[in-house]
Amino acid sequence: MNHTRKLQNRFESALMANYGTPPVAVAGGEGCVVWDVDGARYLDLIGGLAVSALGHAHPAVVAAVSRQVRELAHISNLYLHEPAVRLAERLLGLLDADGRVFFANSGAEANEAALKLVRKHAGPDRPYVVAAHESFHGRTMGALGLTGRPTIRDPFGPFGGDVRFVSYGGADELAAAVDARCAAVFLEPIQGEAGVVPPPPGYLRAAREICDATGALLVLDEVQSGIGRTGDWFAHRREGVRPDVLTLAKGLGGGLPISACVGLGAYGSVLVKGDHGSTFGGNPVSCAAALAVVDTIERDGLLVHVAEAGKVLADGIRGLEHPLVAEVRGRGLWRAIVLTERCAAAVEGAARDAGFLVNAVRPDAVRLSPPLILSFEEIRSFVTALPSVLGRTAEARAGAL
């Protein structure tokens, strides 16, 4: 029995079964490469689900975290510390907007904060919110109530709020659903868990206009798409819209748990003392990591790199003209290989066997969300190997028939 199987056995005995048993037991990583407890190496094209923005063991993050943990690891929200203030100022600067920031630990918590902000601002006269089918906003009860995926939502209902779902990308349907009794519209600028699905051009602009006309708030969930993932600091910048509330997480901390709910303009002052809190949210170590991430993305010109690398990756996959590849969706280094058959899990397994970690986000879509530092050489290695990976998938499926 190898070390992986031994660790899997211990995992199955000690942890809840909600994740199943992971197929790889990771021991360490550097850059875009990780290795398992048995020494096998993999090119990490998942990036911790779009979290590991600077890859693994990036010197800037290691230095910032090590320095901060020696000085102050935790103090709670009873006291202030400079890293949180600096990070909030930095985020508002990137947004080029006035506002205020609430820090938590995860995307779900950021969306819970946004939902509370919306509810307090709206009051009883605006009892419902609108979200999109196939959206994903988190697994805590409020965030799950906003999530338009029945398979993960329905087992845990009923939920406490009135949420009305519309098709993603349909401006006319959205307009019909939003009136003067609507508190807010919650949207992802690109739907991540749906399979990295961008909206039609002009959709976010239409959503902004609909909210302006009715008085509903526009809340944009950039938990996956924010902090450089698409080649912009924020994906909504592409359409030139400004949300009323923005949520961030994942790549912000480069591997450490941190999220942010940003209320822009007057909406930053809706929550007051006692309205909300988080014991660990915005702790000094996570804030130090996030500052290192933001500073490194800016210093190393990673936004430009992400845009260029993402194009090379997508064009390379399309150029294979493989019969299992229907299209490549997404933006920057956030892509989905859409398949002509529902065999994403088999592709994920074959890729893993070949030394590449990818994610079967949907039955017919494989998600790629690698570190933003992914090199052109690493992209070429994956594209070169992909026909063999897809070929093994096709052979396995044929053998099973």
- Report H helices in 32-140: 47-50, 59-71, 82-95, 107-122
Tally of domains in the chain: 2
* The one catalytic residue among 103, 136, 356, 382: 136
364 among known catalytic residues:
no
**Domain co-membership, 181 together with 264:** yes
Whole-Å CA distances, 368 to 76, 137, 184, 252? 36, 19, 31, 18
Picking from 256, 280, 299, the residue at the C-terminal end of a domain is 299
Residue 141, pLDDT score: 87
**Domain co-membership, 319 together with 290:** no
Report the length, in residues, of the chain. Answer: 401
* SS3 state at 174: helix
Which among 125, 150, 146, 124 is positioned nearest to 136, based on CA atoms? Answer: 146
Picking from 299, 332, 365, the residue at the C-terminal end of a domain is 299
**Domain co-membership, 128 together with 202:** yes
* The one catalytic residue among 44, 221, 232, 364: 221
**Domain co-membership, 100 together with 162:** yes
116 among known catalytic residues:
no
In a domain, 93, yes or no: yes
What is the residue-averaged pLDDT of the chain?
96
**Domain co-membership, 14 together with 162:** no
State CA 7 to chain mean position distance: 28
**Domain co-membership, 142 together with 159:** yes
Picking from 299, 332, 361, the residue at the C-terminal end of a domain is 299
**Domain co-membership, 295 together with 307:** no
* pLDDT tens digits along 187-208: 999 999 999 999 999 999 999 9
In a domain, 318, yes or no: yes
Q: 184 with 129: CB under 8 angstroms?
A: yes
* pLDDT tens digits along 379-390: 999 999 999 999
Distance CA 401, CA 384 (A): 28
Q: 64 with 54: CB under 8 angstroms?
A: no
In a domain, 63, yes or no: no
Residue 399's pLDDT band (cuts 50, 70, 90): low
Q: 65 with 58: CB under 8 angstroms?
A: no
232 among known catalytic residues:
no
Distance CA 328, CA 248 (A): 25
**Domain co-membership, 237 together with 118:** yes
**Domain co-membership, 22 together with 118:** no
| CATH at 36 | 3.90.1150.10
* pLDDT tens digits along 243-300: 999 999 999 999 999 999 999 999 999 999 999 999 999 999 999 999 999 999 999 9
Q: For the beta carbon of residue 356, count every other beta carbon within 10 angstroms.
A: 22
Q: For the beta carbon of residue 3, count every other beta carbon within 10 angstroms.
A: 13
**Domain co-membership, 270 together with 127:** yes
* The one catalytic residue among 36, 102, 165, 250: 250
Is pTM, for the whole model, over 0.85?
yes
Residue 33, pLDDT score: 98
Which among 300, 303, 367, 356 is positioned nearest to 334, based on CA atoms? Answer: 367
In a domain, 62, yes or no: no
Domain that holds residue 215: 72-299
